[in-house]
Structure 1
């Protein structure tokens, strides 16, 4: 059996070298540089059926598409959208594209390019869009502090008008006091746990099976990113101060709101102090934690020892 290389896709607001990169996760060497798309918006880089890369331009109302083995974007495929995309997500089957443009959610059928619906329930710009693993629902988060969970079937085929029940979110969570910066949805479809982080310093855990908030963990500083290991025993959050803090779900306190002191949480350091960590991801084997921040660095933590690869 041939060796399989795990690759890391990186988008950047600094497009001097390229719009986005692909790196060998093991060695950190560049495998591909995608050029010609300008600077890329965060929370907008997506894989399309393992054959294409699609990303939103951070300054123009454009979506760019690259063949996965080509540095140049496809000249005959360029999506012009109604405004600058704040967040982007593809359904797991790559049939539908969901984009947040200011406070409005746009739903497209990807193959035909047909706009199927617009959803306007946020009151400030959308910051993040995430699908459940089975693709039946998706969550949108915004600067208004709201996290809305939508049924995809109703979103793509509304039966009534703009204010009809079909255009209403499945769940409407308004527990954060400031902008929600990231969302992670675990395994299990609508029975999964959902983890949200915000500038209000809180990481909240929801049970999507009944729409209840299970826990709110208050950290010492504002939070910008979140990811969870596959067993959902450890929650990793990226802070505004350049640290990654860890919270264990195996020793969950009995109270619904828990204030986590800095000395209680193991911290990964390596990013420039005072610069937010904007994205987190775990390798397939779960032994490596990858982080990206506004200091233009990508960190790879192996066995709890961070090594830095400058981007």
Structure 2
């Protein structure tokens, strides 16, 4: 069965619908998931970061099995976590903190493997590249940063490097709201959205800005066409815009 999973801090829950029939299959209640704070951990369970309000000094991460609406595990990180990401096999989970730190946990043991300071303000988005060798993060400070996981786990290279990130894109003037990655690993493109009403297309191999597209309203959600010709942008004005990756325009 193919399903669609969505969370809402307003409705305080997570819903799971059959993609073809539209029928709701399961609802997970008592959830206050943050934007981008919901992730599928392999084929095993769902994980969701919990933050009751932006000024909260504590938070948790809840875990549900696919077939049970009750919370099975609660974890309490060192600080409130906003976005979550997991690799396809579900062996590790990455979280972005309010302080700008990024956390890397092993799922089987729950052990914190790595922690590093990624941004000057709260992390808002986390996405893995198609080959899962790169982590791309966005934050409230408007920056988008690209991290090599090989570098993060190589203690010798970390000590010698001037900075941990591969690229730091700072052209957004306001909070980053979403990031999506293309295919092709290091040769892929990524698209970022911001409260500055722009979406920007970046080259990972060249480390530079390719396109800047201005929208009439803030874009909160992006979906990339599998052929990488266009992307779809969901706006706060209730509209979905279509923008060509090769042009500075939208329809």
The answer to whether the superposition gives a TM-score over 0.5 is: yes
Task: Give TM-score scaled by structure 1 length.
Answer: 0.74
Give the deviation of 1:157 after TM superposition: 4.3
Determine the structure 2 residue equivalent to 1:247: 243
Give the deviation of 1:212 after TM superposition: 1.8
Give the deviation of 1:160 after TM superposition: 6.8
Write the mapping of 1:74-85 to structure 2, written as runs, cut at 5 A: 74=72, 77-85=73-81
Q: Distance in 2 between matches of 1:99 and 1:166?
A: 24
Determine the structure 2 residue equivalent to 1:25: 19
Aligned residues between the structures: 245
Q: Is 1:63 paired with 2:61?
A: yes
Q: Is 1:183 paired with 2:176?
A: no
Q: Is 1:44 paired with 2:42?
A: no
Determine the structure 1 residue equivalent to 2:194: 198
Q: Is 1:237 paired with 2:247?
A: no
Q: Which shifted more, 215-224 or 227-236?
A: 215-224
Pair 15,247 (structure 1): closer, same or farther in 2 beyond 3 Å:
closer
Provide, for residues 202-244 of structure 1, a one-character-per-residue CA deviation record: whole Å limited to 9, x for no partner.
1111111221211111222222221111001121112221211
Determine the structure 1 residue equivalent to 2:70: 72
- CA-atom RMSD in angstroms: 1.9
Determine the structure 2 residue equivalent to 1:119: 116
Give the deviation of 1:156 after TM superposition: 3.5
Q: Check whether the contact 1:176–1:200 (CA below 8 A) recurs between aligned residues.
A: yes
Determine the structure 2 residue equivalent to 1:147: 144
Write the mapping of 1:288-303 to structure 2, written as runs, cut at 5 A: none
Give the deviation of 1:86 after TM superposition: 1.2
Determine the structure 1 residue equivalent to 2:55: none
Q: Check whether the contact 1:92–1:134 (CA below 8 A) recurs between aligned residues.
A: no
Q: Check whether the contact 1:160–1:166 (CA below 8 A) recurs between aligned residues.
A: no
Q: Is 1:207 paired with 2:203?
A: yes
Give the deviation of 1:197 after TM superposition: 0.8
Provide, for residues 75-127 of structure 1, a one-character-per-residue CA deviation record: whole Å limited to 9, x for no partner.
xx321111221111112332221111111111112222221222213111111
Q: Check whether the contact 2:41–2:87 (CA below 8 A) recurs between aligned residues.
A: no
Of 81, 90, 93, the residue aligned with 1:97 is 93
Q: Which has the higher contact order (CA 8 A, sep 6+)?
A: 2
Flag structure 1 segments of 5+ consecutive residues without an equivalent: 266-311
Give the deviation of 1:155 after TM superposition: 2.1
Q: Distance in 2 between matches of 1:153 and 1:61?
A: 29
Give the deviation of 1:56 after TM superposition: 0.9
Q: Which of structures 1 and 2 has the bigger CA Rg?
A: 1
Task: Give TM-score scaled by structure 2 length.
Answer: 0.90
SS at match of 1:153: helix
Pair 116,128 (structure 1): closer, same or farther in 2 beyond 3 Å:
same
Of 47, 53, 62, the residue aligned with 1:54 is 47
Flag structure 2 segments of 5+ consecutive residues without an equivalent: 53-57
Determine the structure 1 residue equivalent to 2:29: 35
Q: Distance in 2 between matches of 1:27 and 1:14?
A: 25
Which structure: greater strand fraction? 2
Give the deviation of 1:15 after TM superposition: 4.6
Q: Check whether the contact 2:151–2:157 (CA below 8 A) recurs between aligned residues.
A: no
SS at match of 2:138: strand
Q: Check whether the contact 2:42–2:91 (CA below 8 A) recurs between aligned residues.
A: no
